[in-house]
Structure formats: structure tokens, C-alpha cells
Amino acid sequence: MNNQTQFSGLWPALFTPVGANERPNFDQLEKLCDTLVRENVDGLYVLGSTGQGILFSDEDRKQVLETVIATVNARIPVMVQVGTLATRDACKLAEHAATVGASAVSSVGPIYFGGGAKMAIQHYSEIAKAGQLPFFPYQLGNNSIPGNFEDFIAAVLEIPFIEGMKLTTGNMLEISRIHNIAGDKLKLFSGADELICQAALSGTVGAIGTFYNLWGAECKHVLNSFKSGDFELARRFMLEFQRIIEYVLPNIWTFLRVAMKQKYQIDIGDTVAPLAKGQADWNEAEVAKILDQLAHTLKE
């Protein structure tokens, strides 16, 4: 599989199921990976924000990645987020990723520190050199582009092994600006679940998101149908999808736990503290109704 086809399409930002003592639940992780492969998703993004990567020990992160790669067994590519507080620790995780057969490495920028573009580029470059795998910086929200826009993208293009970017932003103009500057030199993934079709118009080659664990097959079908010209299906689905996301977002983790149990009989478990603590529990009947509502949009 070449990079042109390997790095595209719809990728769930994989849950890391949590078990006793806030450790990964590897049995449920294997079941989740196998389920998503059978749902025909295009790849898996492991240990990002959805995967709670930064909240696990490095040894647990390594074991999670090894479990995912063994379960997937080369059926789809696996990209791993290796960001940590210290560049040296991220580099060690990137080296491990290359050793165990990951397809690509991704990383957030320097966490909790200022320093702007130069610090971010240095951090990314060291990680990319350590892994020597296709590299995807993960730029988040309003902090997507530090400093001068054009200069930053030019610097990104000089990062060793650079392949693309994961952009969790609702600003479509920002995505199109990156695409118009970099062209095909950067494969751009949208990280905003609710804008999967809209981002495709701005130059993305695919999408990485939390809700694709639950609705991967449905979202892939809608995205591909949209690209093939079925505007009405995309419009109908996206409006309902956006409504649901907005509705469940205040208690997203508790919703997703119930929903994954109902749809796939997979328990993603509780979160690692302090993530999502204090979220309200969901009534199972209401969750079932939400699942039915989105499914109905595909049948109208």
C-alpha cells in the first residue's frame, strides 16, 4: 500500500478502554480494534486525546500500541500519537513505534510552554527523526498555527519525514490556506468530527475523530457519497450528526460508554482521572433513541 492511499479516508481516534486501577483493558481493546477493522474504517489513530494517551504511563502506552498492531495485523494502517511533556520521552515512544511496526507517528506541540513556532518545529523535528516514520503534527483548535502562517507551514514542510497534519479546527479557511500553500506535499486530516464533509471541500484527504469509533461505517459511507455527488444525503446526515454531537458533548464520555455497549457490546470503561469526572449518567433508552435517530437518516 503506497502512502497516497494509505494515509487517507476515515480513521477513528481510537478509544483506549480502561479497566481496573485506571490501566488499559487489553481484552476490550482487542475487541474494539477487530470490530473497527470489520467496519471497514481506513486506519486507526492511537493514543491521542480520545485514547487518553497522555494520561497513561509510557509502558502502558507501548503495550497499547503493540496490542493494536498485533490485533490489526496489517489489515489497516496505524498512526500513533507520541506527544509528552518532554521531547526526549516523545522521541523514545517514536522509536518504539518504529520498532513494533506502526505506519506513522503523530504528536502534539510542546505542552504547557510558550515559545511559538520555533519551539514547536524543533519539538516536531526531533520526534520525526527519532521515529523515521511518516510524521503528522497534531495542531489543535485556535492554537493550530503559531506565529506567521506562511512561515510556519514552510517550516513544517522542512520537518524530516513530514507526511501531513491532523487539524482539529472548525476554521475551514485555515485548512484551505494550509492546502493552498502546501498542495499535495501535506496530507491533511480533519480532526473536527462534525465537519467531516465540509473539511473535504477545504482540501482534507480524510478525517480522524472520536465519534468514528461509534459511527465509523456510517460516516465513511456519507463522506464517500458526498464526494461522489450525493449532496442531499450528506446534508441530511450532517445536520443530524451535528445536532447529536452538540447535545451529547457536555456528557460525551458517559454517552459513548453506554452507546458502545449497546451497539458493539464493548465496554470502554471509565476515564482516567481527572478526565470527564463529574459527567452525568445517561438513560439507556435515550441513548438507544439517539442511535436509532442517526441510523434513520441513512434510510430516508
- Report yes or no on 13 lying in a domain: yes
| 77 compared with 120, residue with greater pLDDT | 77
Q: How many domains does the chain have?
A: 1
Question: How would you class 9 by CB atoms within 10 Å of its CB: exposed for 0-12, middle for 13-18, buried for 19 or more?
Answer: buried
- Report yes or no on 260 lying in a domain: no
pLDDT number for residue 116: 73
CATH of the domain at 30: 3.20.20.70
pLDDT number for residue 88: 96
CA dist 276 and 29 (Å) reads 20
Whether 4 shows a pLDDT value over 80: the answer reads no
- Report yes or no on 52 lying in a domain: yes
- Report yes or no on 272 lying in a domain: no
Are residues 164 and 178 in contact, defined by beta-carbon separation less than 8 angstroms?
no
pLDDT number for residue 2: 45
- Report yes or no on 296 lying in a domain: no
- Report yes or no on 45 lying in a domain: yes
Q: Residues 45-69: what's their mean pLDDT?
A: 96
Q: Domain range for residue 139?
A: 3-219
* Average pLDDT taken over every residue of the chain: 93
Per-residue pLDDT tens for 205-239?
999 999 999 999 999 999 999 999 999 999 999 99
- Report yes or no on 300 lying in a domain: no
* Whole-number Cα distances in Å, 43 to 11, 33, 106, 153: 5, 10, 14, 25
pLDDT number for residue 1: 44
Are residues 68 and 96 in contact, defined by beta-carbon separation less than 8 angstroms?
no
- Report yes or no on 50 lying in a domain: yes
Q: Residues 274-299: what's their mean pLDDT?
A: 95
Q: Residues 197-206: what's their mean pLDDT?
A: 97
